[in-house]
Structure 1
Amino acid sequence: MIDEKAAAEAARKQDENYINNALVDVYDNIMRFEEQQIRGSRFRDINARELHIVHAIGLHDHKTTTQVADEFRMSKGTLTAHLNNLERKGYVIRQRNPADRRVINLGLTSKGRLLYRTHDAFHRRLVKSFLHGMDDDDRQLIKQALMNLEQFLDEAQKK
Protein backbone atom coordinates (compact mmCIF):
# COMPACT_ATOMS: atom_id res chain seq x y z
CA MET A 1 0.00 0.00 0.00
CA ILE A 2 2.76 2.43 0.93
CA ASP A 3 4.70 1.58 -2.25
CA GLU A 4 1.58 2.29 -4.32
CA LYS A 5 1.15 5.70 -2.66
CA ALA A 6 4.80 6.55 -3.15
CA ALA A 7 4.63 5.44 -6.81
CA ALA A 8 1.47 7.49 -7.37
CA GLU A 9 3.09 10.55 -5.76
CA ALA A 10 6.24 10.12 -7.87
CA ALA A 11 4.11 9.82 -11.03
CA ARG A 12 2.13 12.95 -10.07
CA LYS A 13 5.36 14.93 -9.53
CA GLN A 14 6.73 13.67 -12.84
CA ASP A 15 3.52 14.76 -14.61
CA GLU A 16 3.66 18.20 -12.97
CA ASN A 17 7.29 18.55 -14.00
CA TYR A 18 6.44 17.64 -17.60
CA ILE A 19 3.50 20.08 -17.68
CA ASN A 20 5.64 22.86 -16.23
CA ASN A 21 8.37 22.35 -18.82
CA ALA A 22 5.83 22.01 -21.64
CA LEU A 23 4.08 25.28 -20.69
CA VAL A 24 7.39 27.14 -20.64
CA ASP A 25 8.49 25.62 -23.95
CA VAL A 26 5.15 26.23 -25.66
CA TYR A 27 5.06 29.86 -24.50
CA ASP A 28 8.63 30.46 -25.68
CA ASN A 29 8.02 28.72 -29.01
CA ILE A 30 4.82 30.64 -29.72
CA MET A 31 6.51 33.96 -28.98
CA ARG A 32 9.54 33.04 -31.11
CA PHE A 33 7.32 31.81 -33.95
CA GLU A 34 5.20 34.97 -33.86
CA GLU A 35 8.30 37.16 -34.00
CA GLN A 36 9.71 35.08 -36.86
CA GLN A 37 6.43 35.39 -38.75
CA ILE A 38 6.38 39.17 -38.20
CA ARG A 39 9.96 39.56 -39.48
CA GLY A 40 9.13 37.56 -42.60
CA SER A 41 5.88 39.37 -43.40
CA ARG A 42 4.74 42.70 -44.71
CA PHE A 43 4.24 43.71 -41.05
CA ARG A 44 7.93 43.59 -40.13
CA ASP A 45 7.80 47.18 -38.90
CA ILE A 46 6.14 46.16 -35.62
CA ASN A 47 7.17 44.06 -32.65
CA ALA A 48 5.27 41.35 -30.76
CA ARG A 49 4.00 43.76 -28.07
CA GLU A 50 2.58 46.11 -30.71
CA LEU A 51 1.00 43.14 -32.48
CA HIS A 52 -0.79 42.14 -29.29
CA ILE A 53 -1.95 45.71 -28.69
CA VAL A 54 -3.48 45.73 -32.18
CA HIS A 55 -5.16 42.43 -31.35
CA ALA A 56 -6.46 43.81 -28.05
CA ILE A 57 -7.97 46.85 -29.77
CA GLY A 58 -9.92 44.49 -32.00
CA LEU A 59 -11.88 45.05 -35.16
CA HIS A 60 -15.05 46.68 -33.93
CA ASP A 61 -14.86 47.35 -30.19
CA HIS A 62 -13.42 50.89 -30.22
CA LYS A 63 -11.93 50.28 -26.81
CA THR A 64 -10.62 53.15 -24.76
CA THR A 65 -6.97 53.64 -23.93
CA THR A 66 -7.79 52.82 -20.31
CA GLN A 67 -9.40 49.49 -21.27
CA VAL A 68 -6.39 48.42 -23.32
CA ALA A 69 -3.89 49.59 -20.68
CA ASP A 70 -5.80 47.65 -18.01
CA GLU A 71 -5.91 44.53 -20.20
CA PHE A 72 -2.10 44.59 -20.45
CA ARG A 73 -1.61 45.82 -16.90
CA MET A 74 0.51 48.67 -18.18
CA SER A 75 0.42 52.35 -17.44
CA LYS A 76 -1.44 54.65 -19.79
CA GLY A 77 1.88 56.41 -20.41
CA THR A 78 3.53 53.20 -21.61
CA LEU A 79 0.51 52.38 -23.77
CA THR A 80 0.60 55.91 -25.21
CA ALA A 81 4.19 55.38 -26.35
CA HIS A 82 3.15 52.15 -28.13
CA LEU A 83 0.09 53.83 -29.62
CA ASN A 84 2.22 56.70 -30.91
CA ASN A 85 4.37 54.17 -32.78
CA LEU A 86 1.37 52.21 -34.07
CA GLU A 87 -0.34 55.39 -35.22
CA ARG A 88 2.83 56.63 -36.95
CA LYS A 89 3.19 53.25 -38.70
CA GLY A 90 -0.43 53.39 -39.88
CA TYR A 91 -2.05 50.62 -37.81
CA VAL A 92 -4.08 52.53 -35.23
CA ILE A 93 -6.27 55.61 -35.12
CA ARG A 94 -7.37 57.52 -32.04
CA GLN A 95 -10.72 59.22 -31.95
CA ARG A 96 -12.29 61.39 -29.29
CA ASN A 97 -15.47 59.89 -27.96
CA PRO A 98 -18.33 62.13 -29.14
CA ALA A 99 -20.26 61.56 -25.90
CA ASP A 100 -17.28 62.41 -23.66
CA ARG A 101 -14.45 64.29 -25.37
CA ARG A 102 -12.05 63.39 -22.53
CA VAL A 103 -12.20 59.72 -23.60
CA ILE A 104 -10.05 58.43 -26.45
CA ASN A 105 -11.42 55.50 -28.43
CA LEU A 106 -9.03 53.33 -30.39
CA GLY A 107 -9.64 51.87 -33.81
CA LEU A 108 -7.69 50.07 -36.49
CA THR A 109 -6.87 51.38 -39.92
CA SER A 110 -7.26 49.07 -42.92
CA LYS A 111 -3.61 48.06 -42.42
CA GLY A 112 -4.34 47.39 -38.74
CA ARG A 113 -7.42 45.32 -39.59
CA LEU A 114 -5.37 43.23 -42.02
CA LEU A 115 -2.75 42.64 -39.32
CA TYR A 116 -5.49 41.72 -36.84
CA ARG A 117 -7.04 39.19 -39.24
CA THR A 118 -3.66 37.67 -40.05
CA HIS A 119 -2.79 37.30 -36.37
CA ASP A 120 -6.24 35.95 -35.53
CA ALA A 121 -5.94 33.32 -38.30
CA PHE A 122 -2.60 32.24 -36.84
CA HIS A 123 -4.18 31.79 -33.40
CA ARG A 124 -7.12 29.84 -34.84
CA ARG A 125 -4.69 27.47 -36.60
CA LEU A 126 -2.73 27.13 -33.36
CA VAL A 127 -5.84 26.20 -31.38
CA LYS A 128 -7.08 23.84 -34.07
CA SER A 129 -3.74 21.98 -34.07
CA PHE A 130 -3.74 21.90 -30.26
CA LEU A 131 -7.22 20.36 -30.08
CA HIS A 132 -6.76 17.97 -33.02
CA GLY A 133 -7.99 14.49 -32.17
CA MET A 134 -9.64 15.50 -28.90
CA ASP A 135 -13.25 14.76 -28.09
CA ASP A 136 -15.67 17.08 -26.26
CA ASP A 137 -14.68 15.72 -22.84
CA ASP A 138 -11.00 16.37 -23.58
CA ARG A 139 -11.82 19.90 -24.72
CA GLN A 140 -13.75 20.58 -21.53
CA LEU A 141 -10.82 19.35 -19.42
CA ILE A 142 -8.43 21.62 -21.33
CA LYS A 143 -10.86 24.53 -20.98
CA GLN A 144 -11.17 23.97 -17.23
CA ALA A 145 -7.39 23.71 -16.80
CA LEU A 146 -6.91 26.99 -18.69
CA MET A 147 -9.62 28.69 -16.64
CA ASN A 148 -7.86 27.52 -13.47
CA LEU A 149 -4.56 28.92 -14.77
CA GLU A 150 -6.17 32.26 -15.75
CA GLN A 151 -7.75 32.57 -12.31
CA PHE A 152 -4.45 31.83 -10.60
CA LEU A 153 -2.63 34.43 -12.73
CA ASP A 154 -5.35 37.05 -12.20
CA GLU A 155 -5.24 36.56 -8.43
CA ALA A 156 -1.44 36.50 -8.32
CA GLN A 157 -1.19 39.76 -10.29
CA LYS A 158 -3.62 41.53 -7.94
CA LYS A 159 -1.32 40.92 -4.98
Structure 2
Amino acid sequence: MDPLVNEINSYLVTIFNDVLMIEEKTLQSSRFKDVSIKEMHTIEAVGMYHQHTTSEVAKKLGVTVGTLTVSVNNLVRKGYVERIRTDSDRRVVKLALTPNGRLLYRLHDKFHRDMVKETIAEMDKEQSEILMIGLRNLHDFLERTKEQLPE
Protein backbone atom coordinates (compact mmCIF):
# COMPACT_ATOMS: atom_id res chain seq x y z
CA MET A 1 0.00 0.00 0.00
CA ASP A 2 1.06 3.57 -0.66
CA PRO A 3 3.02 4.93 2.37
CA LEU A 4 1.02 8.18 2.25
CA VAL A 5 -2.26 6.22 2.39
CA ASN A 6 -0.91 4.26 5.38
CA GLU A 7 0.11 7.45 7.18
CA ILE A 8 -3.20 9.22 6.52
CA ASN A 9 -5.10 6.11 7.65
CA SER A 10 -3.06 5.98 10.85
CA TYR A 11 -3.80 9.64 11.59
CA LEU A 12 -7.52 9.29 10.88
CA VAL A 13 -7.89 6.25 13.15
CA THR A 14 -5.86 7.87 15.93
CA ILE A 15 -7.71 11.18 15.64
CA PHE A 16 -11.11 9.47 15.74
CA ASN A 17 -10.17 7.49 18.85
CA ASP A 18 -8.51 10.47 20.53
CA VAL A 19 -11.49 12.78 19.98
CA LEU A 20 -13.86 10.24 21.54
CA MET A 21 -11.51 9.59 24.47
CA ILE A 22 -10.95 13.32 25.13
CA GLU A 23 -14.67 14.07 24.93
CA GLU A 24 -15.47 11.23 27.32
CA LYS A 25 -12.75 12.12 29.85
CA THR A 26 -13.67 15.81 29.68
CA LEU A 27 -17.29 14.97 30.44
CA GLN A 28 -16.33 12.68 33.31
CA SER A 29 -14.12 15.32 34.94
CA SER A 30 -16.64 18.16 34.57
CA ARG A 31 -19.89 19.15 36.21
CA PHE A 32 -21.53 17.14 33.40
CA LYS A 33 -20.17 13.78 34.61
CA ASP A 34 -23.70 12.35 34.49
CA VAL A 35 -23.68 12.53 30.66
CA SER A 36 -22.27 9.71 28.54
CA ILE A 37 -20.59 10.37 25.20
CA LYS A 38 -23.60 8.78 23.48
CA GLU A 39 -25.90 11.20 25.33
CA MET A 40 -23.59 14.09 24.40
CA HIS A 41 -24.02 13.23 20.74
CA THR A 42 -27.79 13.10 21.27
CA ILE A 43 -27.63 16.61 22.76
CA GLU A 44 -25.60 17.70 19.74
CA ALA A 45 -28.19 16.19 17.38
CA VAL A 46 -31.09 17.89 19.20
CA GLY A 47 -29.24 21.14 18.51
CA MET A 48 -29.26 24.62 19.94
CA TYR A 49 -31.63 26.67 17.86
CA HIS A 50 -34.46 24.55 16.48
CA GLN A 51 -36.86 22.07 17.96
CA HIS A 52 -36.85 18.69 16.23
CA THR A 53 -39.11 15.66 16.37
CA THR A 54 -37.78 12.41 17.78
CA SER A 55 -37.85 10.96 14.25
CA GLU A 56 -35.69 13.80 12.89
CA VAL A 57 -33.11 13.40 15.66
CA ALA A 58 -33.09 9.60 15.31
CA LYS A 59 -32.46 9.93 11.57
CA LYS A 60 -29.63 12.39 12.18
CA LEU A 61 -28.00 9.93 14.60
CA GLY A 62 -28.72 6.88 12.47
CA VAL A 63 -30.62 5.09 15.25
CA THR A 64 -34.18 3.86 15.67
CA VAL A 65 -36.77 6.03 17.39
CA GLY A 66 -36.96 3.40 20.14
CA THR A 67 -33.21 3.60 20.79
CA LEU A 68 -33.33 7.39 20.82
CA THR A 69 -36.30 7.40 23.22
CA VAL A 70 -34.20 5.63 25.86
CA SER A 71 -31.48 8.31 25.59
CA VAL A 72 -34.01 11.15 25.53
CA ASN A 73 -35.80 9.79 28.61
CA ASN A 74 -32.47 9.81 30.48
CA LEU A 75 -31.60 13.31 29.26
CA VAL A 76 -35.04 14.63 30.25
CA ARG A 77 -34.65 13.06 33.71
CA LYS A 78 -31.16 14.60 34.05
CA GLY A 79 -32.45 18.03 32.97
CA TYR A 80 -30.67 18.48 29.61
CA VAL A 81 -33.55 17.94 27.16
CA GLU A 82 -37.23 18.79 27.29
CA ARG A 83 -40.21 17.56 25.30
CA ILE A 84 -42.46 20.28 23.93
CA ARG A 85 -45.94 19.70 22.50
CA THR A 86 -46.82 21.93 19.56
CA ASP A 87 -49.88 24.17 19.79
CA SER A 88 -51.04 23.25 16.30
CA ASP A 89 -51.13 19.49 17.02
CA ARG A 90 -50.81 18.33 20.62
CA ARG A 91 -49.83 14.85 19.41
CA VAL A 92 -46.59 16.19 17.91
CA VAL A 93 -43.71 16.29 20.39
CA LYS A 94 -40.56 18.26 19.68
CA LEU A 95 -37.25 18.00 21.50
CA ALA A 96 -35.33 21.03 22.74
CA LEU A 97 -32.38 21.66 25.02
CA THR A 98 -32.88 23.09 28.49
CA PRO A 99 -30.58 25.92 29.64
CA ASN A 100 -28.23 23.29 31.11
CA GLY A 101 -28.35 21.34 27.85
CA ARG A 102 -27.51 24.49 25.87
CA LEU A 103 -24.53 25.19 28.15
CA LEU A 104 -23.19 21.67 27.59
CA TYR A 105 -23.81 22.01 23.85
CA ARG A 106 -21.81 25.26 23.74
CA LEU A 107 -18.87 23.75 25.66
CA HIS A 108 -18.81 20.71 23.35
CA ASP A 109 -19.08 22.93 20.28
CA LYS A 110 -16.18 25.09 21.51
CA PHE A 111 -13.95 22.00 21.72
CA HIS A 112 -14.81 21.16 18.11
CA ARG A 113 -14.23 24.73 16.90
CA ASP A 114 -10.89 24.89 18.76
CA MET A 115 -9.90 21.58 17.16
CA VAL A 116 -10.65 22.93 13.67
CA LYS A 117 -8.86 26.24 14.33
CA GLU A 118 -5.78 24.34 15.50
CA THR A 119 -5.92 22.08 12.44
CA ILE A 120 -5.78 24.99 9.99
CA ALA A 121 -3.67 27.37 12.12
CA GLU A 122 -0.52 27.11 9.98
CA MET A 123 -2.30 26.73 6.64
CA ASP A 124 -2.88 29.41 4.09
CA LYS A 125 -6.27 29.77 2.39
CA GLU A 126 -5.34 27.46 -0.50
CA GLN A 127 -4.14 24.70 1.84
CA SER A 128 -7.33 25.00 3.91
CA GLU A 129 -9.41 24.70 0.73
CA ILE A 130 -7.49 21.57 -0.30
CA LEU A 131 -8.15 20.07 3.13
CA MET A 132 -11.83 20.93 2.63
CA ILE A 133 -11.87 19.00 -0.66
CA GLY A 134 -10.42 15.95 1.08
CA LEU A 135 -12.93 16.21 3.93
CA ARG A 136 -15.83 16.54 1.46
CA ASN A 137 -14.58 13.44 -0.36
CA LEU A 138 -14.40 11.55 2.94
CA HIS A 139 -17.87 12.77 3.92
CA ASP A 140 -19.33 11.70 0.57
CA PHE A 141 -17.71 8.26 0.88
CA LEU A 142 -19.15 7.82 4.38
CA GLU A 143 -22.62 8.94 3.23
CA ARG A 144 -22.56 6.43 0.34
CA THR A 145 -21.37 3.70 2.69
CA LYS A 146 -24.16 4.48 5.20
CA GLU A 147 -26.74 4.18 2.40
CA GLN A 148 -25.51 0.63 1.69
CA LEU A 149 -25.84 -0.52 5.31
CA PRO A 150 -28.80 -2.70 6.23
CA GLU A 151 -31.58 -0.97 8.18
What is the TM-score normalised by the length of structure 1?
A: 0.90
Distance in 1 (CA, whole Å) between partners of 2:86 and 2:141 is 35
Partner of 1:43: 32
Partner of 1:66: 55
Which of 79, 88, 91 aligns to 1:99? It is 88
Distance in 1 (CA, whole Å) between partners of 2:3 and 2:88 is 57
Counterpart residue type for residue 41 of structure 1: S
Which of 41, 66, 87 aligns to 2:76? It is 87
Residue identity over aligned pairs, in percent, reads: 41
Structure 2 unaligned blocks of 5 or more: none
Ranges of 4+ aligned residues in structure 1 off by more than 6 Å: none
Partner of 1:120: 109
What is the TM-score normalised by the length of structure 2?
A: 0.94
Distance in 1 (CA, whole Å) between partners of 2:83 and 2:49 is 13
Structure 1 unaligned blocks of 5 or more: 1-9
Counterpart residue type for residue 102 of structure 1: R
Partner of 2:136: 147
Q: CA deviation at 1:97?
A: 2.2
Q: State how many pairs are aligned.
A: 148
